[in-house]
């Protein structure tokens, strides 16, 4: 089986690692001329994401970058600590939450794919898809084409694959602006390996300090969406609005944002409506292209990694692409869309707080992500 993966970001490269491990002929096509993907934001991989990496055989590569997070602190608007608990499966170093820049994770996964011999073509922008009974052909802006038995759309929230084949499915604003930044000069109180969530009077704020002394932070605030195309250094007015909200509370948040200066960005929290199609013909979507959620739960990258494992196992175990993709969707849709719903609810409540995932994952997820367990041995969720 030959598989074309459109998108060389986290979802696409992880999917390619899974498909290659399953013995399929896979090629990744990426529009950017290099690893790109790093607009300065950081992310956290939760324990479920780290467990998916283990299924892909990529744990060692990823734990070589970033740093582990082992506990979660909660502060109220007065800066008082209200909780401090272990985070996820912190007892196992391979499954601890991990904090890293988006670009670091992307480059690491791409490097691992190349090390395994997965072809990865940069600088090829998709223009059209021709889906037929005997194969699917991708045509690129440089005039080249590629034909396979299956095409995986892993090209993110603004997916070209989805726009071409499912034009009625469009992202929507989830009710918040999200700011990200890195502060290199202002110390932030808190124990090593901890991520601190602040329930502000008008914002939700979170930060963590790296071993190098850099403080990575985010802030979520309600309000009208930013104009289309706003994603780099935030306008002064957006920064001042955020600072006004943060200064109303006695927490470290305002000081961290002030000290970051221009080393910050702001974007809209965006999601895809649950119930949208994930597949058509010989095309299937993964990651944000299928089920983008607002960032409030911090599960976007981890959900993409789960998709990669389950799709690869389905294509490994089942006789044809159509059957495999239906089984992949049956197993993944309930969990992924639950994340969209929960994350959207947090985003529409500006002071909602991200909470730790239970220390013990449920048995169904464990079996879904265990590489040697066939999907036929994993009962889908009731109603799936």
Closest to 87 (Cα-Cα) out of 75, 66, 100, 72: 72
Three-state SS at 114: helix
Cα–Cα dist 254/257, whole Å: 5
Mean pLDDT value across residues 131-156 = 96
Closest to 48 (Cα-Cα) out of 371, 306, 311: 306
Positive or negative, the CA dihedral 87, 90, 96, 99 is positive
Q: What is the pLDDT of residue 257?
A: 94
Mean pLDDT value across residues 111-135 = 96
Cα–Cα dist 194/291, whole Å: 29
Positive or negative, the CA dihedral 329, 335, 337, 343 is negative
Closest to 321 (Cα-Cα) out of 4, 13, 92: 4
Query: Which comes out higher in pLDDT, residue 114 or 226?
Result: 114
Using pLDDT thresholds of 50, 70 and 90, give the confidence band for residue 179: very high
Q: How far is CA 195 from CA 84, 98, 99, 292, in A?
A: 10, 10, 9, 24
Cβ neighbours of 23 (radius 10 Å):
11
> Is 355 within 8 Å of 84 (Cβ atoms)?
no
- The structure tokens listed for 90 are 């912190």
Q: Is the pLDDT of residue 37 over 70?
A: no
Q: What is the pLDDT of residue 236?
A: 78
Mean pLDDT value across residues 54-62 = 97
Using pLDDT thresholds of 50, 70 and 90, give the confidence band for residue 90: confident
Cα–Cα dist 330/283, whole Å: 16
What would the pLDDT profile of 243-291 be if each residue is shown by its tens digit? 999 999 999 999 999 998 877 888 899 999 999 999 999 999 999 999 9
Query: Which comes out higher in pLDDT, residue 11 or 231?
Result: 11
pLDDT > 70 in the chain, percent? 92
Q: Is the pLDDT of residue 384 over 70?
A: no
Mean pLDDT value across residues 172-180 = 93
Q: What is the pLDDT of residue 226?
A: 85
Q: What is the pLDDT of residue 373?
A: 96
- The structure tokens listed for 359 are 């220390």
Q: Is the pLDDT of residue 81 over 90?
A: yes
Q: What is the pLDDT of residue 358?
A: 46
What would the pLDDT profile of 318-359 be if each residue is shown by its tens digit? 989 999 999 999 999 999 999 999 999 888 875 544 443 444
Closest to 17 (Cα-Cα) out of 47, 46, 51, 57: 57
CA 22 to chain centre: 23
CA 48 to chain centre: 12
Residue with tokens 């040697």: 372
- The structure tokens listed for 234 are 């935030």
Positive or negative, the CA dihedral 348, 353, 354, 356 is negative
The half-sphere exposure of 330 on its side-chain side, counting CA atoms within 13 A, is: 15
> Is 77 within 8 Å of 247 (Cβ atoms)?
no
Closest to 174 (Cα-Cα) out of 296, 278, 286, 39: 296
Residue-averaged pLDDT of the chain = 91
Q: Is the pLDDT of residue 232 over 60?
A: no
Using pLDDT thresholds of 50, 70 and 90, give the confidence band for residue 36: low
Three-state SS at 359: coil
For the entire predicted model, the pTM comes to 0.95
Phi, psi at 147, each rounded to 5°: -125, 140
Q: Is the pLDDT of residue 229 over 70?
A: no
Q: What is the pLDDT of residue 360?
A: 56
Cα–Cα dist 19/153, whole Å: 14
Q: What is the pLDDT of residue 351?
A: 52
Cα–Cα dist 361/383, whole Å: 20
Q: What is the pLDDT of residue 350?
A: 54
Closest to 354 (Cα-Cα) out of 242, 206, 202, 179: 206
């Amino acid at each position: 089986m030959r598989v074309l993966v459109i998108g060389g970001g986290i979802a696409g490269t992880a999917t390619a690692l899974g498909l290659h491990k399953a013995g399929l002929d896979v090629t990744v096509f990426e529009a950017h001329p290099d690893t790109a993907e790093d607009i300065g934001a950081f992310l956290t991989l939760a324990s479920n994401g780290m467990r998916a990496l283990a299924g892909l055989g990529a744990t060692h590569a990823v734990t070589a970058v970033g740093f582990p997070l082992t506990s979660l602190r909660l502060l109220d608007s007065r800066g008082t600590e209200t909780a401090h608990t272990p985070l996820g499966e912190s007892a196992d170093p391979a499954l601890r939450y991990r904090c890293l820049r988006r670009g670091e994770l992307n480059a690491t996964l791409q490097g691992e794919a190349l090390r395994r011999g997965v072809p990865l073509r940069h600088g090829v922008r998709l223009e059209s898809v021709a889906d037929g009974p005997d194969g699917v052909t991708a045509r690129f802006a440089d005039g080249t084409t590629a034909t396979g038995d299956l095409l995986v759309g892993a090209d993110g929230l603004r997916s070209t694959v989805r726009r071409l084949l499912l034009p009625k499915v469009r992202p929507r604003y989830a009710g918040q602006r999200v700011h990200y930044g890195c502060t290199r000069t202002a110390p932030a109180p808190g124990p090593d390996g901890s991520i601190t969530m602040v329930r502000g009077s008008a914002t939700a704020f979170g930060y963590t300090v790296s071993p190098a002394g850099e403080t990575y932070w985010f802030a979520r605030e309600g309000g009208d969406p930013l104009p289309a195309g706003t994603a780099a250094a935030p306008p002064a007015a957006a920064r001042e609005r955020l600072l006004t909200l943060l200064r109303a509370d006695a927490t470290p948040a305002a000081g961290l944002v002030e000290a970051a200066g221009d080393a910050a960005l702001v974007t809209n929290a965006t999601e895809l409506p649950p119930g949208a199609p994930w597949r058509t013909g010989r095309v299937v979507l993964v990651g944000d292209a299928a089920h983008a959620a607002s960032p409030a739960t911090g599960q976007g990258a981890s959900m993409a990694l789960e998709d990669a494992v389950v799709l690869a196992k389905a294509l490994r175990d089942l006789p044809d692409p159509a059957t495999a993709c239906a089984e992949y969707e049956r197993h993944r849709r309930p969990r992924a869309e639950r994340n969209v719903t929960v994350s959207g609810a947090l985003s529409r409540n500006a002071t909602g707080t991200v909470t730790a995932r239970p220390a013990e994952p449920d048995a169904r997820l464990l079996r879904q992500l265990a590489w040697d367990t066939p999907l036929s041995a994993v009962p889908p969720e009731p109603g799936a």
